Amino acid sequence: MARILLAEDDGSLRTFLTRALVRAGHEVVQADSAAAALPQIERGGIDLLLTDIVMPGMDGIELARIAREKLPDLRIMFITGFAAVAMTRTDAPADSRLLSKPFHLRDLVAEIDSLFPPEQQQPA
């Protein structure tokens, strides 16, 4: 399926999301901050950046902007408990998606799966 870079500063949520996404057939690379995600972006090979918006230091929107410069075809999805803040930001990539916390895992998986229709997936 997809190789996902998950940038989330809440360790419990990061672990929970990783388990769910792996069970759904995705490969997940974890980062506990935007700064920790940057080296993985530099290495490439990521299909989706799944990032919290509000994190200490660099926020998820800035991370997404940098990631999109390095990887122009990268899909981006934000997860946040502060949707009102996110909706006022104009510097997020226009084609990014937003999922507000709390959300059900099946909604997250369905949203990610919609980004990677079967006809676009690479054979194993």
Per-residue confidence (pLDDT) for residue 123, from 0 to 100:
47
**pLDDT (tens digit, 9 = 90+) per residue, 3-28?**
999 999 999 999 999 999 999 999 99
Backbone phi and psi for residue 28, each to the nearest 5 degrees, phi listed first: -125, 130
- The SS3 of residue 124 is coil
Domain boundaries, the chain: 3-115
Q: Are strands 97-100 and 27-31 parallel, antiparallel or unpaired?
A: unpaired
pTM of the complete model = 0.87
> CB of 60 within 8 A of CB of 53?
yes
**pLDDT (tens digit, 9 = 90+) per residue, 46-64?**
999 999 998 999 999 999 9
**pLDDT (tens digit, 9 = 90+) per residue, 95-122?**
788 888 888 889 999 999 999 877 555 5
- The CATH class for the domain spanning 3-115 reads alpha beta
Q: What's the rounded Cα separation, in Å, for the pair 48 and 74? A: 6
